[in-house]
Structure 1
Amino acid sequence: MEFRGSSAYDEGEFFENYMKRRTRPESPNNVIEKPVLLKLIGNVKGKRVCDLGCGDAEIGLDLLQRGCLSYTGVEGSENMAQLAAKNLEGQAGKVELSPMEEWQPLTEQFDLVLSRFALHYLTDLDTVFQKVHHTLVDGGKFVFSVQHPVLTSSAKSAEASGSRTDWIVDDYFNQGERAEPWIGKKVIKYHRTTEEYFRLLKQAGFKVEDLREGTPNAENFSSESEYQRRKRIPVVLMFSCVK
């Protein structure tokens, strides 16, 4: 069985195993992606924030502590949305249970829209980019991360178990769906080149201010061997854009 979008997270065993992986100390989300994301986001004091594919809203708690005015998570998985709502109890945050494709934001509703490792699940990314542009105030920021295209290009490397030390990059310019073995399931992702992400952002009206590939920083790792392994290939592609 193949899972699309956020549907895999509503399968009990997958959800439980994912959360174990996601919260481990040297998860790429924690030691590679998040430090760069926070630098790209910058000062959030007084800002209204929207998080597309918010997961457990862990980043929302962080941004609220940093002074953002409000936080709205958009999440398509019922399991994830329930966990996010629980984590946000008593905070100036809320969660909307909705797939990103069906999200209907208001005009100039947010000062910052972010998304972490979620947009590569979408087939119709250009429409979502247009919605983000629509809901941002003039000068508002859009910061997001996706799985790096060298990883989404081919699912062959993902078929091997254990910690990989080499990867197969193939069919890079053949964009489209990939069925990737992940945590014991087949998950559908959509492969795009870096050039295509850039083109869709420009088409939606954004100015791309920065691009990062998550260069590992030794101080974020407790394991030297894991740090050296993560220097072999990029796992994340990140954009910082302005309306």
Structure 2
Amino acid sequence: MPKQNIFDNETFFEGYRKIREKESNANDLFEIPTLFSLLPDLTGKRVLDLGCGYGEHCISFVQKGAEKVVGIDISEKMLEVAKSENRNPRIEYLLMPIEDIAQIAEKFDVVISSLALHYVEDFEGVVRNVNNLLTPGGEFIFSQEHPFNTCHSTGERWTRDEKGEKIHINLKNYGIERENESTWFVDGIKKYHRMFSTIVNTLVEAGFAIEKMVEPLPDEELLKKFPEHKDLFHKPDFLVIKARKHLGTP
């Protein structure tokens, strides 16, 4: 079965790029700062970026001292931008689905993924492959859409008062792990819902120790500038996890 490659859809690609250019986009305000706050010292490290997109993170890893960065993505459009705007002699970009990383014949000290794993059906297989690609004690740091997001499929996400203000989220079928289709610029975008326990247990069973989990929320200063993000106190948008491969694992 072919892997989902929504980013090569022209409508989706342009819509996504416009969102990322907005000052108030949640990636730049919450997800990326949190992900980067969990990074170790990258000096002399070999880094693998799963779902590298435009390659902006890959450049940042090099600037932070990484010896080599391999960025993989399934999207030719994304990699065209990466190779044009974010190239560096220490960066190698590969056209590859995340599910196929077992084909990579080298080891890494750090594996990082930003908002890509909720598009992957075989999460367990990917986590096992990441563990195999890491050196002993290596770190796996990733973000994904929050499980309270991925469990939503149809219907109104929020209950609102008579003024249209959000009162609470409408949460249903959280305990049913499944593929959901949604509309975001285009129809038929597939995301995979997994419970917190499944995510954590999959990591542990694959040979990882969980070091930190973060559900980013706005602080007072950010809320003054972007008050619309107060709804994150009802439902965080992102889950960010730092896990470490056990030292005794080859």
Counterpart Cα distance in 1 of 2:228 and 2:71:
31
Match of 2:29 in 1: 31
Conserved in 2, the CA contact under 8 Å of 1:6 and 1:77? no
Percentage of identical aligned residues: 30
Matched, 1:238 2:240: yes
Distance 2:156 2:83 in 1: 32
**Structure 2 regions of 5+ residues with no counterpart?**
159-163, 246-250
Shift of 1:158: 7.1
Report if the CA contact (8 A) 1:76-1:97 is conserved.
Answer: yes
Map of 1:122-141 to 2, 5 A cutoff? Answer: 122-141=120-139
Residue in 1 that maps onto 2:145: 147
Distance in 1 separating the partners of 2:55 and 2:92: 9
CA contact (8 A) 1:85 1:94 kept: no
CA distance in 1, matches of 2:35, 2:99: 23
Number of matched pairs: 237
Name the larger-Rg structure: 2
Aligned mate of 1:189, from 184, 188, 191: 191
Alignment equivalent of 1:70, drawn from 68, 71, 80: 68
Structure having greater relative contact order (Cα 8 Å, sep ≥ 6): 1
Alignment correspondent of 1:110: 108
Distance in 2 of aligned mates of 1:170 and 1:38? 32
Aligned to 1:48: 46
Give the Cα–Cα distance (whole angstroms) in 2 for the partners of residues 6 and 101 of structure 1: 11
Deviation at 1:15, TM superposition (A): 0.5
Alpha-carbon distance change, 157 to 60 in structure 1, aligned in 2, over 3 angstroms: farther
Q: Over aligned residues, Cα RMSD in angstroms?
A: 2.1
Does structure 2 conserve the Cα–Cα contact (< 8 Å) formed by 1:149 and 1:193? yes
- CA gap of 1:90–1:158, structure 2 versus 1, over 3 A, is farther
Query: What is residue 60 of structure 1 aligned with on the other side?
Result: 58
What CA distance in whole angstroms lies between the structure 2 residues aligned with 1:143 and 1:192? Answer: 18
- Tell me: CA distance 1:73–1:6, structure 2 relative to 1, closer, same or farther (3 Å): farther
TM-score if structure 1 supplies the norm length?
0.90
* Equivalent-residue separation in structure 1 for 2:5 and 2:68 (angstroms): 27
How far apart are 1:168 and its partner, in Å?
Answer: 2.1
Q: TM-score, normalised by structure 2?
A: 0.88
Matched, 1:101 2:99: yes
SS of 2:27's equivalent in the other structure is: helix
